[in-house]
Amino acid sequence: MMSKTLDIRVARGKAARRSLPLPALLEPLRSPFVAVTRTLVPPALGIVAFLLLWVLVAQGSGGSLPGPVSTWRAAVLLFADPFYQNGPNDQGIGWNVLMSLGRVGAGFGLAALVGIPLGFMIGRFDFLARMSAPVISLLRPVSPLAWLPIGLLVFKAAGPASIWVIFISSIWPMILNTAAGVRAVPQDYLNVARVLRLSEWKVFTVILLPAALPAMLTGVRLAVGVAWLVIVAAEMLTGGVGLGFWVWDEWNNLNVEHIIIAIFVVGIVGLMLEQALVWLARKASFGEEH
């Protein structure tokens, strides 16, 4: 995964260099300009096209769907005071985002705490792999929200129930990717460990953990993605506070601008989570492309 993004970057660099049939004198002036153009123009065009489409659809809907301008005005008002608090059902957008992030953090953190060690054991011991295979393949395809009633039944509260849904839906990618990473550790490294008769703990810290780290982080990234996808849906169903609840609440108020803003906020926060983990994974994969 990492090497793919690297390759793309290299390829882009090469293309930029090839398409510079400019006089050598201009080159120092021109090449930063060309580079900036190449990196900024296509995304900017994409955004403009998207906004245009939005305007067209909004106008076509005859006013029931707000356009970019009125959404922007609503957003400015909304973000002017993101942390106000008028009782439990009327809070600033900032609180809603933090609540959702908190639940994702709790559910996802618990899933990591359980899933990563479990993945290591399943990857290391064939017996455990065969023991857990039927259960995992049965439970993994279950839609995350199907777990919600069980959570409500057991915890009798909305908060813990949505954390439970996050937990159960984000644990599978972490178990499976960690186990795959451990299973893919080259036999040669394990032979080194056998010749040295390293203790199981040393094998874990010196060989398995660093070797499986990139795969593990892939699992973490997928899990965060799933968790963030699921939280909005779960909160819509459970109510209380959080982005999902806020979307539902604004739907009941028929405040469509706010729903659209919520969609953007969900997208941007998800993007930031993803980027943070990509950055982390790139740090961890140092020196292993060879």
Q: What is the DSSP letter of 186?
A: -
Question: Could you tell me the smallest distance in angstroms from the CB atom of residue 195 to other proteins?
Answer: 5
CB of 109 or CB of 210, closer to other proteins: 210
Q: Cβ(165)–Cβ(147) under 8 Å?
A: yes
> What minimum distance in Å lies between the beta carbon of 289 and other proteins?
8
126 near other proteins (CB under 8 A): no
**CB neighbours of residue 170 within 10 Å:** 29
The size of the interface with other proteins (CB under 8 A), counted in residues, is: 20
Q: Tell me whether residue 145 or residue 213 sits nearer to other proteins (CB atom).
A: 213
Residue 145 or 190 with smaller CB distance to other proteins? 190
Candidates 92-100, 111-119, 190-198, 268-276; binding stretch for other proteins (CB under 8 A):
190-198
**Gap between the Cα atoms of 198 and 112, Å rounded:** 27
Q: Is 288 in the site for other proteins (CB under 8 A)?
A: yes
Helix (H/G/I), strand (E/B), else coil: 2: helix
Burial annotation 47-62 (CB, 10 A radius, 16+ → b, else e): eeeeeeebeeebeeee
CB 232 within 8 A of CB 263: no
Minimum gap (Å) between residue 186 Cβ and other proteins: 8
Which residues of the chain form contacts with other proteins (CB under 8 A)? 186, 188-189, 191-192, 194-198, 202, 206-207, 210-211, 286-290
